[in-house]
Structures are given as C-alpha cells and as structure tokens.
Amino acid sequence: MKSAELKASVVRDLVLLSCVGLRPVLVHGGGPEINVLLNQLNIPAQFRDGLRVTDARTMEVVSMVLVGKVNKDLVSRINYAGATAVGLSGMDGRLLVARPSPNAAQLGFVGEVARVDPTVLQTIVDNGSIPVIASVAADEYGQPYNINADTVAGEVAAALGAEKLILLTDVAGILRNREDPGSLVKEIDIKGVKKMVEEGKVGGGMIPKVTCCIRSLAQGVTTASIIDGRVEHSLLHEIMTDEGAGTMITG
C-alpha cells in the first residue's frame, strides 16, 4: 500500500471489523520501504521468482524497516483509529521459528516458516486487540531471516484455525490473461489454480501468494482470497458481500 490514503482506509476497515466482533490479524511486509532504504545505502535490490535476494546487509535493512518502521507505523495508525494494536515480529513470544529456503544458495537469508506457536497471538486476540506481525523470524540458532509476508500470513492463519485468509496485492486478483485486467478469476479450487501455475498463467510475485493460499487451505483454513488492495474498502467487500473483491480459492 504505497498510498497513505489507502493505508488509512485499510486500517479503518480493520478497526471496523474488530468492532463488529471479527478478530483480524494483520501480517505485513514492506517492499517499497525496504527498496527506498536500500537505494539510499547503494545496496542493489534483486529478486528471484518474486522473492527478495537477501544477503547479510540486506537482512539488516529488512529488519530495521519491517520491525522498526513499518510495524510501528501500522500499530500507531490502528491505535489512532480507535482499536488497540500490538506489534510483533516472528521472534517475539517465539511466534515463528524460521528455516533457510531450499534455494538459500541463490536467495541468501530468505526463510520459510518451520513452526508457529500461536500462544502469544491467541492472548492478544482474546484480549480484543489486533496483532500486527512483521514477517521477520529467526531460526533455532538466532539467525534472522526475511520471510515472504504472504507465506507468514498463510501459516499463521492455519495455526490459529482461521476461517479466512485474505492477501492484499496490487492487482485485481488471479487473471486468466495477465495482460487483460478484465479476465479476473472470481473463484477457483486448488486443482484449478495449480493447473494455471503449471500452464504459466500465474507467475512472478503471484506464485508465492498462490502457494501460501494452497498450503493454508490444506491445513484447514476454509477459504483464501487474493484481492486488490488498491481499491478502497476491498477488504470489507470481500468479507461482507457475496460478490467479493478478487479471487477466492477453495479446497
């Protein structure tokens, strides 16, 4: 969410959902903010298959930006909007344990989620607060890893037994033709979306999103949706209307 207005709108929607009895948990990345600081430090940004290549210097920047800047900004905005937010990273309360990516030789300190302990989250949610999680976690030896925020969201949703996983992105959802914004797939099952990946219709940064949706569904989440975060109130439309606001993937 590069737009301050859209960020404020999403925050207000989260607070509204919390006020009417839902229990949202927010997981965030911060790619644009990371890129700004990397550029200021003359550190090149590199990506492979939608994942940031993360050497030791980049990992320091990722931690500083996600945990120290983006997380606290979101917490402050939610508190100002009338709810109570609690900011965490994967290292807090032993929420997440990371492991290196199988492609560590190419990606560096990019990790996967090895384990989730939702105890600290459950306490926050039961207290009526909104957890805000930065997608940084450490392995069993304390080495920090940069983990894709969508991946973290999917694993956390499964660990909490969430009914719905929603990923906000900068496209309308999954498109049958990536060059045609009007070719939105409104609903698809796991088999169908896997076929689209195999056929090359889903690629780039959408691959980690689809993968985490499939994993969360396999672990008991009822539905997973990829929606357009650029559209004001898309979160409310997805949750509170039959039409929805993007692509819903079902088991």
Would 1-161 and 163-251 be classified into the same CATH topology? yes
What pLDDT does 22 receive?
95
- What is the domain partition of the chain in residue ranges? 1-161, 163-251
d(CA 50, CA 106): 13
| pLDDT per position as a tens digit, 208-242 | 899 999 999 999 999 999 999 889 999 999 999 98
What's the pTM value of the predicted model, to 2 decimals?
A: 0.92
Q: 48: which 2 tokens?
A: 């492979």
Which parts of the chain have pLDDT scores under 70?
1-2
HEC letters along 134-190: ECEEECCCCCEEECCHHHHHHHHHHHHCCCEEEEEECCCCCECCCCCCCCECCEEEH
Domain 163-251: give its CATH code: 3.40.1160.10
Domain 1-161: which CATH number of 3.40.50.2000, 3.40.1160.10, 3.30.70.20, 3.40.50.300: 3.40.1160.10
Closest C-alpha to 245, from 13, 27, 77 = 13
